[in-house]
């Protein structure tokens, strides 16, 4: 599952998701469009908030 699919499944906007994980909207968009890879801290935050989140999303 891609990051965008995960976000939509949760019913969240880009702005909401960025705020939840503590990054800017533009940084979140870069992650979603696979233009950047997240920092270790950002990955930890995703996992803290969404226990079911599969970090392998970022490896593809």
- Host H or E run for residue 8: helix 3-10
The DSSP secondary-structure symbol of 11 reads: T
pTM, full prediction:
0.86
The DSSP secondary-structure symbol of 2 reads: -
32 vs 56, residue with greater confidence: 32
What ranges do the domains of the chain cover? 3-59
**Percentage of the residues of the chain whose pLDDT score is greater than 90:** 77
Fold of 3-59: 434 Repressor (Amino-terminal Domain) (1.10.260)
């Amino acid at each position: 599952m891609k990051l965008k699919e995960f976000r939509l499944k949760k019913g969240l906007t880009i702005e909401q998701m960025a705020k939840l994980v503590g990054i800017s909207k533009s940084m979140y968009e870069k992650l979603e469009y696979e233009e950047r890879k997240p920092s270790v801290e950002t990955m930890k935050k995703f996992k803290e908030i969404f226990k079911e989140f599969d970090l392998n999303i970022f490896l593809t």
